[in-house]
Amino acid sequence: MNSELAHDNAEALTRVVVIGGGYAGVMAANRLTQRDDLTVTLINPRSTFVHRIRLQQHLAGSGDAVVEYSDVLAERVRLVVDSATQIRSSGRTVTMASGESLDYDYLIYAIGSGSGRPDVPGAAEFALPIASLEEAQRARSALEAAPPDAPVTVVGGGVTGIEVASELAARGTKVTLVCGEVLNPYLHPKTRRKITKKLLALGVTLVEGPGARVARVERDSVQLSDGRALSSRVIIWAAGFGLPDLAARSGLSTDADGRLLTDETLTSVDDPRILAAGDSAAPSDLPLRMSCQAANPLGAHAADTVLRRIAGEEPAPIDIAVFFQCISLGPGAATVQLASKQDAAKRFSLGGRLGAKVKYSSFPGLIKELAHEGHEPGSYRWRFKNPKRKLQVRAKRNELLTIDPARSR
């Protein structure tokens, strides 16, 4: 359908608004263009796509995390550069920071995650988060302003902390990684040993154990709970992600962390016209691991649910699994922790050339998946499925029934 005709028929078209132009939102928007009789509008605060899984490279100056939307988004999707500030489900409108608002027939909530709000004294003031492009740019400027031999402390021993520490150490920065009790508790001990060895070989000083919790952050030091003080010129905060509060602010049900609570078709438990995907979705209060591995299929599934509803068909439950965790360990190196269908780390991991190939091919691979869906909507298929998710949901329901009967739906 050409755009003039589309405009004349605007009254008859179903309006789908997607909030958030990350992996999940772009995948959903592209997939929706399978139908000619709907308009797809994507709201995002920037005019460029952020390839978040490359932000550690962006920070270290070893790679770029910015991609043009023209490279990933279907031509038919209208991009509105703005931030959603309120969803009014009763009137089916989204209000934006500019004061403009958009009406919708279906809404997909895909606003992702951001940096967690640390409750450690001094952290908000002196530590630099890196969960968004702007934050990574600020941290990069601080690193560039510091002398080459200045001590840098990275707080957080999870994947992001490990990736940041190794990327910086590989370029010669003197890095201390504060892990808390143990380096990335998710990992299998065998994989943890391998990663520890690699970090030490890169020259990263690892601080872990019962006293390695950050108690206070000052302008030039990180104070640990056991009294140690780590002299630091730049302090990077990579201790977990936080969730934006748009859903809660809009009166929609969320899980305890702020993700929009949905059923297994990714439909909000409050409103059949609202769906969620990616980091900001909590299907059955059992969210998948925050990852782009989950975001792409969740985005596609949310679009499928909308398309099925429009077609008068029953939407399907999700069957998505997250089967591994890829961790980059400086340029050209990586470990891939394999996981079970329930996302528990297995004994096996991939390292060496194979691990690096899997990790580094995912950078262009994810962009290709989005672009391909933009050109051939409906073509994307996810390989990793979890037919046992039903059992997990049932178990969770029983657990909730035991804890609080009012929460069972």
Residues lying near ligand FAD in the complex (CB under 6 A) are found at: 19-25, 43-45, 50, 52-53, 55-56, 83-84, 110-113, 130-131, 160, 163, 244, 246, 278-280, 290-293, 295, 326
Least separation in angstroms between CB 394 and ligand FAD: 26
- Rg over alpha carbons for the chain, rounded to the nearest Å, is 22
Q: What is the DSSP string of 133-196?
A: HHHHHHHHHHHHHS-TT-EEEEE--SHHHHHHHHHHHHTT-EEEEEEETSS-TTS-HHHHHHHH
Question: Would you list the DSSP string of 97-140?
Answer: TTS-EEE-SEEEE----EE----STTHHHH-EE-SSHHHHHHHH
Pick the closer one to ligand FAD by CB: 113 or 166: 113
Residue 39 or 56: the one with the smaller Cβ distance to ligand FAD is: 56
Task: Give the three-class secondary structure for 146.
Answer: coil
Nearest distance, CB of residue 94 and ligand FAD, angstroms: 9
Rounded to the nearest whole angstrom, what is the least distance from the CB of residue 170 to ligand FAD in the complex?
A: 15
Cβ atoms of 266 and 283 within 8 Å: the answer is yes
Closest to ligand FAD by CB, 24 vs 224, is 24
Q: Smallest distance from the beta carbon of 315 to ligand FAD, in angstroms?
A: 20
Enclosing H/E stretch for 293: helix 292-310
In the bound complex, what is the minimum distance in angstroms from residue 313's beta carbon to ligand FAD? 26
The bridge status of strand 260-262 relative to strand 281-283 is: parallel
Closest CB to ligand FAD among 52 and 198?
A: 52
Residue number, nearest CB to ligand FAD: 22
DSSP 3-state assignment of 52?
helix
Q: Across the strands, what pairs with 44? A: 81
Q: What minimum distance in Å lies between the beta carbon of 399 and ligand FAD?
A: 25
Classify residue 406 by its DSSP letter. G
Cβ proximity to ligand FAD, 50 vs 393, nearer residue: 50
**166/284 with CB nearer ligand FAD:** 166
Q: Is 77:272 a contact under the CB 8 Å cutoff?
A: no
